[in-house]
A and B are shown apart, each in its own frame.
Chain A
Amino acid sequence: MNAHEFSLTVFTISIVAGLLGALTGLGGGIVVTPALTLLLGVDMRYAIGASLVSVVATSSGAAAAYVRDGLSNIRIAMFLELATTVGAISGAFLASKTPTRALAILFGVVLLHSAWQVIQARAQRASDSQPQDALSARLRLGGTYVLPIGTEVYQVSRAKAGFGLMYVAGIISGLLGIGSGALKVIAMDRIMGIPFKVSTATSSFMIGVTGVASAAIYLKRGYVQPLIALPVMLGVLAGSMLGARLLPHLPVKILRRVFAAAVAVIAIQMISQGIRGKL
């Protein structure tokens, strides 16, 4: 393949990945790595580096709007970033000690779990009536956000448990070069009892900072190849912006499940390639 064909193909794949990521809510980075490795035979380390760059771009782009609209809770984000950044650095170090095959299998498992979460479609929220905990009160983590019907006040509970899970989310983000937004939302929405909209907006805001903590290490190790990272970044950004525009006009419930099923197929492919040592 020559450079023209390569960058055009990568760009196109990344638009689709960004679109899929936005429509499923999984984020573009998680789809782009298997696409590059499985379809184009790109070394997984380059794919991870490029994916992480696109994750930082998408997060910054989306968070700009969320922050302006007051949906992201900056206090919660800063507090939890203590955990995710340290986790991300640990993850990036672990990645260099982990064989690509094992990374591929782990990637597949995380992808499969995320797809399953989408298919299940968030039935229960356990934490609606949890009381505010002492740490959350001390850090004044609660806040308000605006709904069409008025302003809603919310409190935060189980800050320590959420903080712990955020460290894990950081490790996985650093290890696999993804935003691990799904895990961040679980920590905030299910454990800390933060309203879903605030959780997703705050997660998206945090992903950029978490991503940079490991991207800086990846960059020094040569994972960030400009000729791959650029079309991936532009493509995923364009795809996810398009996805966000289309979202209100599409039958989301059905689409989400169809796409999640597609992601599950990719995940299984990734696991089987990892087991057979083809990556």
Chain B
Amino acid sequence: MTGNRLAPSRLQTVISLTLRSGVLLAGSIGVCGGSLFLIGHGTEHVNFGSFAGTDSPFTSAAKVITALHSEDSAIRDLAVVQIGIFALLLTPIVRVALSVVGFALERDHTYVAITSVVLLTLLVSVLLH
């Protein structure tokens, strides 16, 4: 089956592994938080017909950490879920950062520059208000 495949480069292997483990980690954290929430609050009524916007306690890393220490166990459990989602969103960013390193090791200056600009754009989007 794999006889005529080109051997993947180190960069390809590392990126592939990063993507896979990011999704697995995110899914596992999410399932933990979600199960906790459903065990404690599964029978409570939910309605998402109206939009709460930034009143949500899960709109930044700082707010989620606060939510983890909340008195309300529903908020705590959902904060765990949101951490899983953070892990998922970090995966492609880590992938781009690794590509910068990969191109630098190959001394491919053009692509170090291109990839760094993409990384910077992602960081701007994360830090922007």
Docked-complex contact B81 and A56, CB < 8 angstroms: no
* A74 neighbours in B (Cβ, 8 Å): 11-12, 15, 99
A22 to B96, CA, bound (A): 25
- B114 interface residue, CB < 8 Å from A? yes
Give the dominant DSSP class at A's interface.
helix
> Which candidate, A13-21, A63-71, A183-191, A269-277, is the interface stretch facing chain B?
A63-71
How many residues on B have C-beta within 8 angstroms of the other chain's C-beta atoms? 68
Instruction: Indicate whether A6 reaches chain B with its CB closer than 8 angstroms.
Output: yes
- Cβ contacts under 8 Å, A64 to chain B: 16-17, 19-20, 23
What string of 1s and 0s marks CB contacts (under 8 Å) between A68-89 and chain B? 1110001100110110011011
A233 touches B91 (CB 8 A): no
Say yes or no: B58 contacts A53, CB within 8 Å.
Answer: no
Across-interface contacts of B122 in A (CB, < 8 A) = 85, 209, 212-213, 216
Confirm or deny: A94 has a beta carbon within 8 angstroms of a beta carbon on chain B.
no
Q: Which of B1-56 contact A (CB under 8 A)?
A: 4-6, 8, 11-13, 15-17, 19-20, 22-23, 26-27, 30-31, 33-34, 37-38, 41-56
Q: Are A228 and B48 in contact (CB under 8 A)?
A: yes
**Beta-carbon contact of A226 and B85 below 8 Å:** yes
5 nearest CB pairs, A to B: A226-B81, A208-B92, A64-B19, A68-B16, A222-B56
Q: Does A146 contact B (CB under 8 A)?
A: yes
- What are 12 A-B interface contacts by the 8 Å CB criterion? A6-B46, A43-B48, A88-B125, A89-B125, A146-B5, A146-B6, A208-B92, A217-B125, A219-B85, A220-B54, A224-B59, A231-B34
What A residues does B8 contact at CB under 8 A?
Answer: 67-70
Whether A227 lies near B59 (C-beta < 8 A) is no
CB neighbours (8 Å) of B79 from chain A are 226
Asked if B121 is at the interface of the complex by the 8 Å CB criterion, the answer is yes
Q: In the complex, given contacts A70-B5, A208-B19, A227-B48, what are 20 additional A-B residue pairs having Cβ atoms less than 8 angstroms apart?
A: A4-B43, A43-B48, A46-B51, A61-B20, A64-B20, A74-B15, A78-B99, A78-B114, A82-B121, A209-B122, A212-B92, A212-B125, A216-B126, A220-B54, A220-B128, A220-B129, A222-B55, A222-B56, A226-B81, A230-B84
Decide: A2 and B6 in contact? CB cutoff 8 A. Answer: no
Main secondary structure of the interface of B (DSSP, over half): helix
Which residues of B sit under 8 angstroms from A86, Cβ to Cβ?
121
A219/B59 contact (C-beta < 8 A), A233-B85, A234-B27 known: yes
Q: Does A151 contact B (CB under 8 A)?
A: yes
Task: Say whether A4 contacts B42, CB under 8 Å.
Answer: yes
Interface string of A195-217 (1 = CB under 8 A from B): 00000000000001101111111
Any chain A CB within 8 A of the CB of B73? no
With A and B bound together, what is the CA distance between A115 and B60 in angstroms? 36
Q: What B residues does A231 contact at CB under 8 A? A: 34
Q: With a CB–CB cut-off of 8 A, which chain A residues contact B125?
A: 85, 88-89, 92, 212-214, 216-217
User: A132: shortest Cβ distance to chain B, in Å?
Assistant: 17
CB contact under 8 A between A144 and B6, given known A3-B43, A7-B38, A208-B92: yes
Is B93 located at the chain interface by the 8 A CB criterion? Answer: yes
Q: Which residues of A contact B110 (CB under 8 A)?
A: 138-139
Alpha-carbon distance between A46 and B43 when the two chains are bound, in angstroms: 21
